[in-house]
Amino acid sequence: MNLSKINSQNFFEFETDFVESLNCIPMAVRMKLDTCGVKLKLSHWHQFNQQERIDLVNMPCLTTSEAGTYKEFLQNLVQAKTGSFAGELTVPPHPPWLDAAKIPDRVQEKAKVFDVTISSEQWSALTPLQRFALIKLSRPSHENRNFLPALKEFNLYK
């Protein structure tokens, strides 16, 4: 794949094992899914070709308008590939990854497993995508082998 088509800022070091193939849904796309309210399955993702995956990585999804455009593009893509639309998620009015002041308890609990306490200053210095990654990686239902690598990458683990 031609990696020059992808903005490398959309990926974390702990994702490097699949960046070139894009065989997994990267955190940047997962945050966009939660932002626009689409429940994309990995089986859907695998239906997309490389260019479609690159487009989903690079498309903006920050504003309400961008989220609507992203959702429409994605749902049309899923429908074209599978014959039906992806499920939808409720979009939280105040996503926790956008709250630089409050560290979710689950994130702190998971960090404590590694003898790490994240300070308010450290949390607020993270980007929304970094906060999103830590929130997702701290979920009990998530395979969270990347939580410690994320702590290290974000300079939270010494």
Which tens digits make up the pLDDT trace of 62-110?
999 999 999 999 999 999 999 999 999 999 899 999 999 999 999 999 9
pLDDT band at residue 142, thresholds of 50, 70 and 90?
Answer: low
| Element spanning 46, H or E | helix 42-47
- Residue 12 in 3-state DSSP? coil
1 compared with 137, residue with greater pLDDT: 137
- Tell me what the mean pLDDT of segment 127-143 comes to: 89
